[in-house]
Amino acid sequence: MSISFRRRDDRRQECDCARAHSHPLRVTCHWLRLDRLDPVVQDPPAFILAPGAPMDDFSLLDLFFTLGWIYILVAWFWFLITLMADVLRSKDLSGLSKALWIIGLIFFPFLAALVYLVARGASMNERRREDMAAMQQPRHAAAAPSTADEIAKLASLRDSGALTAAEFDTQKARLLAS
C-alpha cells in the first residue's frame, strides 16, 4: 500500500513506509518534507465546478436572451395549437382537408401557418366570434312541464287527500285556461 503525493512542481513521489500508514491523521515519512507536498485528489466532489465549466461564461444578458427565446417558442407552439384547433373546429372543411391542414402544420409549420392565415383568417375570426356569442348566451332551463303533467300531479294530490275536489277543479281550470 502506498500513498501518492505530488510535489508543487508536479512530480510524483511514493512513500512505502510503514510509519506513514500507522495513523490516519499523521502522514510522516523520514525522507519526505510534507510542507512541500500536496496530496493527489483523484476524484474531486461533483459539486465543485472547475474553471472553464459550462456555466462560467453565462452572463445575465445571456439569461434574458434565453428567457426571451423560451417565451417566443412557447408563443409559437400556442399559435400552432390554436390553428390546429381552428382547423378541427371548422365545419366547412371536409375530413380530408382537415387532415391535410394538420399534416401541413406539423411538417411545414411556418409555410402552412402563413397560408392558413391568408386563406382562412377571416373565417377563423368569425368562428371565434360565434363561439364567444354562444358562450355568453344564457343557458335555457329545463323544459317546463306540460299541462298534462301538471294535471296528473294535481290528480295524485287529490287521490292522496292533500287537495279537495273543489281545489282540484279550480287548479285544473286555471291550467287549461293558460
pLDDT at residue 30, as a whole number: 46
One pLDDT digit (tens) per residue for the chain, 178 residues:
445 545 444 444 445 554 444 545 444 454 445 444 555 555 555 555 555 556 667 788 989 999 999 999 999 999 999 999 999 988 889 999 999 999 999 999 999 999 999 998 888 888 888 888 888 887 765 667 788 888 899 899 999 988 888 988 998 898 888 7
Whether 35 and 70 share a structural domain: no
In terms of pTM, does the model score above 0.85? no
Residue 143 is predicted with a pLDDT of: 67
Contact 119, 105 (CB under 8 A): no
Distances (CA, A) of 132 to 124, 129, 135: 13, 5, 5
Indicate the helix (H) or strand (E) that contains 15: strand 12-15
In a domain, 175, yes or no: no
Q: Is the same domain home to 74 and 127?
A: yes
Give the DSSP letter string of 102-151. Answer: HHHHHHSHHHHHHHHHHHHHHHHHHHHHHHHHHHHSPPPPSPPPPHHHHH
Task: Report yes or no on 109 lying in a domain.
Answer: yes
Range of 22's domain? 3-39
pLDDT confidence of residue 98: 94
Residue whose C-alpha cell is 306540460: 146
The answer to whether residues 29 and 82 belong to one domain is no
CB 13: neighbour CB atoms within 10 A? 14
Task: Provide the number of structural domains found in the chain.
Answer: 2
Q: Kindly tell me the sign of the dihedral angle through the C-alpha atoms of 51, 57, 59, 64.
A: negative
Say if residue 79 is in the same domain as residue 114.
Answer: yes
Is residue 147 one of the residues assigned to a domain?
Answer: no
